[in-house]
């Protein structure tokens, strides 16, 4: 039982985060994009908990707990927004929702 280097966890977290960013950049479906945000948050959570292990202190876990709660709140509101966007525009393509421009 030798264990794994702590850097592996951190790199895994970075990989997951980057995958989330990639999804955000390359996907056009709002729901998928939103899920990619969750993926990024998960990646960050992993590094929080890894640091919690590294520092042998519970605080990192508390932060990731808060991240989870915020993610839950965000999901509730975000999905409600997606519902209304779909109702009013009839599309889930993120590039069709570009009224920020004007």
Partner 1 sequence: MQLWLIPVFPLAGFLLNGIFGRRASKAFINTIAIGSVLLSFAWVLKTLLGLGDLTTPHIERYFTWIQSGSLHIGFDLAVDRLTAVMLLVVTGIGSIIHIYAIGYMAHEGGYYRFFSYMNLFMFFMLTLVLGANYLILFVGWEGVGLCSYLLIGFYFTKKFATDAGNKAFIVNRIGDFGFSLAMFLIVVQFGSLDFGTVFPAVPGKSEAALTTIAFLLLVGACGKSAQLPLYVWLPDAMAGPTPVSALIHAATMVTAGVYMVARSAAIYTHAPAAMEAVAIIGVATAFFAATIGLAQNDIKKVFAYSTVSQLGYMFLGAGCGAFSAGIYHLVTHAFFKALLFLGAGSVIHALGGEQDLRNMGGLRHKIPWTFWTMMCAGVAIAGVPPFAGFYSKDEILMAANHHAPWMYWVGVITAGMTAFYVFRAMFLAFFGKYRGEAHPHESPAVMTLPLAALALLSLGGGYIFKVPEFLAPLFPLAEEGHDLGPVLISVAAGLLGIGLAYLFYVARPELPDALVARIGGLYQLVYNKYFVDEVYGAVVVNPVVSGSREVLWKGVDVAVIDGAVNGVGSSARGIGGVLKLLQSGYIRSYALWVALGSVLLLIVMGVAGGLR
Partner 2 sequence: MDAILFLIFAVIAVVCGINVVVQSHPISSAISLIGVMGSLAVLYLLLGAEFLAAAQVIVYAGAIMVLFVFVIMLLNAGGETGRGRSFLAQLLGAPVLIAFLGLMAFFVQRLFPGTEMVQFGAFHGGTAQAVGRALFTQFLLPFEVISVLILIAVLGAIVLARKEFDR
Positions 37 through 96 that interact with partner 2 (CB under 8 A): 38-39, 42, 45-46, 49-50, 52-54, 56-59, 61-62, 64-66, 68-77, 79-84, 86, 91-93, 95-96
Q: Which does 50 bind (CB under 5 to 8 A by kind): partner 2, partner 1, none?
A: partner 2
d(CA 66, CA 88): 33
* Degrees to nearest 5, angle at CA 18 with 17 and 22: 120
CA distance 38 to 22: 13
The residues in 76-95 that bind partner 1, with binding defined as CB under 8 A, are 94-95
CB of 57 to partner 2, least distance (A): 7
What number of other Cβ atoms are within 10 A of residue 45's Cβ?
20
Does 12 contact partner 2 by CB under 8 A?
yes
Chain residues that interact with partner 1, rule: CB under 8 A? 21, 24-25, 28, 33, 94-95, 97-102
């Amino acid at each position: 039982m030798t264990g794994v280097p702590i850097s592996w966890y951190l790199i895994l977290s970075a990989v997951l985060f980057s995958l989330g960013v990639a999804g955000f950049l390359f996907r056009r479906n709002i729901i998928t994009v939103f899920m990619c945000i969750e993926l990024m948050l998960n990646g960050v959570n992993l590094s929080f908990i890894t640091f919690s292990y590294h520092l042998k202190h519970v605080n990192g876990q508390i932060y990731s707990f808060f991240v989870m709660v915020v993610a839950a709140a965000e999901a509730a509101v975000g999905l409600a927004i997606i519902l209304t966007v779909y109702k009013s525009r009839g599309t889930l393509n993120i590039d069709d929702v570009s009224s920020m421009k004007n």
